[in-house]
A and B are shown apart, each in its own frame.
Chain A
């Protein structure tokens, strides 16, 4: 069962900070993140990759669903 996080509407750097905090807490597993800007998507993807997590991005209309796992 994947954990879920909704960071839509938050200003930089809050989306990446919230996801980073969650990943630190999880250590490993699956996290689904709902994002609504390209900047937040890119920042989260880069941070997750830098910390050894894999990220899959799926466009959902004007939003993105990031599936992060390790």
Chain B
């Protein structure tokens, strides 16, 4: 078996899931917030805060994990000749989907990655989020079966695909030099989750490894559920199960396993909106073709449409905190439920009008 095929074996996706689970719990032990060793949505939200796109003082930090995911994937793509600059598959719709995925995630308080990590840390509320995620992905599958398609991408010049990795390098410089302008930017939390972080170099190195192996194995938490339901393929699902089991064991060993519903870290017990938030996020991720981690890995290998989705998520994070749609430990924000309902309607409209369910299906051939 050559190296390329080795990365695609069942054994390797199990190792990948286990590595992510252990790495995430270790990052928590090293300083990242509880049950948040890795959370793509939360960490992008923290970056949005650090740049001043929102002013929630407790969630502002430039997370090196996000930087490492993109750059690790970029390295893998270059090494294995899979760096393919591409653009043009409904970027604005992908931006909106990224925005809505973040709105939903911040109502639940975590992306699919954190939902799994919350579960492995004993947070029972995560079960409602995961149920919502599966429900959202199932709605997405309905649209995919109905011919949903955001259109073909096309090749572009390499420069376009270097934009997001370059932004990541810029963020890394801001993190390392802790630039402070008279305006207060770059903002770094002095209390709350944003002030809790693992050492930069360790977090970056772990994220680079995850980005590298995830690009090779195609690890995706949303496709894990989607592929089982849509094409009866359990390859990615095995990786997700492996992640949860490894993180669960690691949490027990590290003394981080606290089973229960109330008093869980950076979580609330409003199960209706834990569920609802993740229905929205799951649907938005499914319509965009992958989980937030996968969007970062795709961005690293040259997919500028995925990069637009990532920017949509960052924009959504700013909106969520400025317009009180994000939840806190005490429950959903004032406008959280309304934002979820509105977001669901928008996603349903996108699913309908970008599939064969709409009347103009014969006008557009993709």
What is A's interface to B at a CB cutoff of 8 Å?
8-14, 16-17, 20, 36-39, 42-43, 46-47, 50, 62
CA distance A62 to B153 in the complex (A): 15
**B211: Cβ under 8 A from any A Cβ:** no
**B289: Cβ under 8 A from any A Cβ:** yes
Instruction: Contact check, B233 vs A12: say whether CB atoms are below 8 A apart.
Output: no
Instruction: Contact check, B235 vs A46: say whether CB atoms are below 8 A apart.
Output: yes
Choose among A9, A10, A20, A42 the residue that contacts B218 (Cβ–Cβ < 8 A). A42
Q: What would be 27 A-B contacts, judged by CB atoms less than 8 Å apart? A: A9-B89, A9-B154, A10-B149, A11-B89, A11-B153, A11-B289, A11-B305, A12-B223, A13-B144, A13-B223, A13-B226, A13-B230, A13-B231, A13-B289, A14-B149, A20-B231, A37-B82, A37-B84, A38-B80, A42-B8, A43-B218, A43-B233, A46-B8, A46-B233, A46-B235, A47-B233, A50-B232
CA distance A68 to B126 in the complex (A): 41
Of residues 226 through 241 on chain B, the ones whose CB sits less than 8 Å from some CB of chain A are 226-227, 230-233, 235
What is B's interface to A at a CB cutoff of 8 Å?
8, 80, 82, 84, 86, 89, 144-145, 149-150, 152-154, 218, 223, 226-227, 230-233, 235, 289-290, 305, 366
> Closest residue to B88 on the A side, CB-wise?
A9
Leading 4 A-B pairs by shortest Cβ distance = A9-B152, A11-B289, A12-B289, A9-B153
Q: How near does chain B come to A10, taking the closest CB pair, in angstroms?
A: 6
Contacts of A43 in B (CB 8 A): 218, 233
Choose among B84, B149, B305 the residue that contacts A36 (Cβ–Cβ < 8 A). B84
Contacts of B290 in A (CB 8 A): 12
Instruction: Contact check, A14 vs B144: say whether CB atoms are below 8 A apart.
Output: yes
Q: Is the interface of A mostly helix, strand, loop or mixed?
A: helix
Contacts of A14 in B (CB 8 A): 144, 149
CA distance A48 to B231 in the complex (A): 11
CA distance A42 to B305 in the complex (A): 21
Contacts of A39 in B (CB 8 A): 218
Instruction: Contact check, A47 vs B149: say whether CB atoms are below 8 A apart.
Output: no
Q: How near does chain A come to B337, taking the closest CB pair, in angstroms?
A: 30
Contacts of A38 in B (CB 8 A): 80, 82
CA distance A14 to B153 in the complex (A): 12
Contacts of A11 in B (CB 8 A): 89, 150, 153, 289, 305
Contacts of B86 in A (CB 8 A): 9
Contacts of A13 in B (CB 8 A): 144, 223, 226-227, 230-231, 289
CA distance A10 to B88 in the complex (A): 11
Contacts of A12 in B (CB 8 A): 223, 289-290
> Closest residue to A39 on the B side, CB-wise?
B218
> Closest residue to A14 on the B side, CB-wise?
B149
User: Beyond the given A9-B89, A11-B150, A13-B144, could you list 10 further A-B residue pairs with CB under 8 A, ordered by the A residue number?
Assistant: A8-B152, A9-B154, A10-B366, A11-B153, A12-B290, A13-B289, A16-B231, A17-B230, A39-B218, A42-B218
Instruction: Contact check, B84 vs A62: say whether CB atoms are below 8 A apart.
Output: yes
CA distance A13 to B86 in the complex (A): 17
Contacts of A46 in B (CB 8 A): 8, 233, 235
> Closest residue to B141 on the A side, CB-wise?
A13
CA distance A9 to B155 in the complex (A): 8
Instruction: Contact check, A47 vs B231: say whether CB atoms are below 8 A apart.
Output: yes
Q: How near does chain B come to A18, taking the closest CB pair, in angstroms?
A: 10
Q: How near does chain A come to B4, taking the closest CB pair, in angstroms?
A: 8
CA distance A62 to B301 in the complex (A): 13
Contacts of A8 in B (CB 8 A): 152
Instruction: Contact check, B230 vs A10: say whether CB atoms are below 8 A apart.
Output: no
CA distance A42 to B80 in the complex (A): 14
Q: Which of A8, A10, A11, A43 has the most CB of B within 10 A?
A: A11
Q: How near does chain A come to B365, taking the closest CB pair, in angstroms?
A: 12
Q: How near does chain B come to A22, taking the closest CB pair, in angstroms?
A: 13
